[in-house]
Amino acid sequence: MDDVIIVGAGIVGVSTAIHLLRRGRGVTLIDRQAPGRETSFGNAGIIQREGVRPHAFPRDLAMLMQVGLHLSTAARYEPLALPRLAPALLRYWWASSPESYKRVVQSYAPLIARSIIAHKDLMDQAGPDAEALVSKSGWFLAFRSDEGLKKEAAKARADKEQFGISHEVVEWPELKRIEPDLKGGLAGAVHWTDPWTVRDPGALVGEYFKLFEKLGGTFVSGAVTALEQDGDGWAAVVDGTRHSGKEAVIALGPWAPDVLDRLGYRLPLFVKRGYHMHYGTEGGAKLNNLLLDAEVGYVIAPMARGIRLTTGAEFAMRDAAPTPIQLGKAEAAARQLFPIGERLDPEPWKGARPCTPDMMPIIGKAPKHRGLWAGIGHAHHGFTLGPATGELLAQAMTGEATAIDIKPFGMERFL
């Protein structure tokens, strides 16, 4: 029996395992996939130090009309899913009111502040192959209109004053110098200079997993069909075999309800689905930095496999069939700005971002059971916050003072 079994080998599970191993705990990590091949694999690859303001539910009428009429590229919904999603979305809308959102940001900002610190800690131990995947030149939040750029620049100045986040406002001539192959159509961009970007997010999780193995962790490949209390501890059943530990951590991202519901934790979780596709370029064009087309709602990023285009949010059931609509709209918009070429993947990648109605993750002890912990619900910032969440969970589980207060992220707020 190991000290801890961790269910889920995405960036949260792997990071938690490393931090526990470094504190002398024995760890068994379980997943049906290779580490980092699910939600941690299909993202824009930003360690979003600037992301102190989580994605709020839109409250302006124009945006709501765009989404409602399926005119938006940044967000869309599946009508048949709305009855099941409605209760969580209503709470999401309420938490996005100005006063509630202000409180969310106050709690969320210290967690985001740990993002690069915690990633750097793991990279330093993982070695040069992890470091080689990272660019520290920030990313560009680009705008097609002067009005949009001016509004975002004002927000960026406020975030610099309140949270110390660095940025530069780049007008079109300077942005064109930085990215010579952009076609045009942009007023400029806010260059967030503090974040790091990663050219292969799944590969970085793989490097962290190598560190996990080096530290003596055990990996079990297979689907967990049951997680049960086992005397004073816990047992995960995988292919008919029981794997026991004194404590258990659920780090299953969008699949967490499959386990938590059976244990009596019916949390108001929902998913925002997203897609990505890799492209070649025309005429040897090169994209030097990640760029988010803010007024349309997609990202293009230079990745190991090519130019990765990632879509906005799709409100649908987790396991529903994929839809090509958002990717098609985003691709058409991206071709206006940059000479992307042929698709390089046989099919778009589809994943699900695990979300909570108040936009904050669940980090800490499950209140109804002894020895059960969770690190879930990171929405758009799972890749950013995985190592920080792992650090905080390991500190709480071993009785250390946590690097920040984790009470705002407690599961009991939903029970």
**Predicted pLDDT of residue 72:** 74
Span 189-200, average pLDDT: 98
Decide if 63 is inside a domain: no
**Predicted pLDDT of residue 245:** 96
The residue assigned the tokens 């110098």 is 177
Report whether 215 contacts 21 (CB < 8 A): yes
Report whether 122 contacts 204 (CB < 8 A): no
Reference 330, options 346, 343, 317; nearest CA is 343
Decide if 349 is inside a domain: no
In tens, the pLDDT along 109-129 reads: 999 999 999 999 999 999 999
**Predicted pLDDT of residue 300:** 98
**Predicted pLDDT of residue 62:** 66
| pLDDT over threshold 90, residue 352 | yes
Reference 170, options 149, 144, 151, 185; nearest CA is 149
Report whether 355 contacts 271 (CB < 8 A): yes
**Predicted pLDDT of residue 281:** 98
Decide if 231 is inside a domain: yes
Q: How far is residue 250 from each of residues 20, 39, 254, 395, 411, measured CA to CA in Å?
A: 14, 15, 11, 16, 12
**Predicted pLDDT of residue 331:** 97
pLDDT range class, residue 59, cuts 50, 70, 90? confident
In tens, the pLDDT along 130-154 reads: 999 999 999 999 999 999 999 999 9
Give the phi and the psi of residue 305 in degrees, each rounded to 5: -90, -10
**Predicted pLDDT of residue 75:** 87
In tens, the pLDDT along 365-395 reads: 999 999 999 999 999 999 999 999 999 999 9
**CATH classification at residue 387:** 3.50.50.60
CB atoms within 10 A of CB 181: 16
**Predicted pLDDT of residue 134:** 98
Decide if 331 is inside a domain: no
Q: Which residues pair with 274 in a beta bridge?
A: 351
Dist CA 295 CA 289 (whole Å): 18
Decide if 252 is inside a domain: yes
| pLDDT over threshold 90, residue 201 | yes
Report the Cα 249 to chain-centroid distance in Å: 19
> Domains in the chain: how many in total?
1
| pLDDT over threshold 70, residue 170 | yes
| pLDDT over threshold 90, residue 226 | yes
Dist CA 159 CA 164 (whole Å): 7
In tens, the pLDDT along 234-247 reads: 999 999 999 999 99
Decide if 76 is inside a domain: no
Decide if 317 is inside a domain: no
Domain ranges, residue 414: 1-55+98-133+198-265+358-415
pLDDT range class, residue 60, cuts 50, 70, 90? confident
Decide if 170 is inside a domain: no
Q: Which residues pair with 139 in a beta bridge?
A: 192
pLDDT range class, residue 349, cuts 50, 70, 90? very high
**Predicted pLDDT of residue 67:** 62
Using the CB atoms, write b or e for 225-260: b if 16+ within 10 Å: eebeebeebbbbebeeeebbbbbbbbbbbbbbbbbb
Mean pLDDT, the chain, integer: 95
Q: How far is residue 320 from each of residues 67, 81, 194, 277, 323, measured CA to CA in Å?
A: 19, 9, 37, 19, 9
In tens, the pLDDT along 63-74 reads: 666 666 565 788
| pLDDT over threshold 80, residue 61 | no
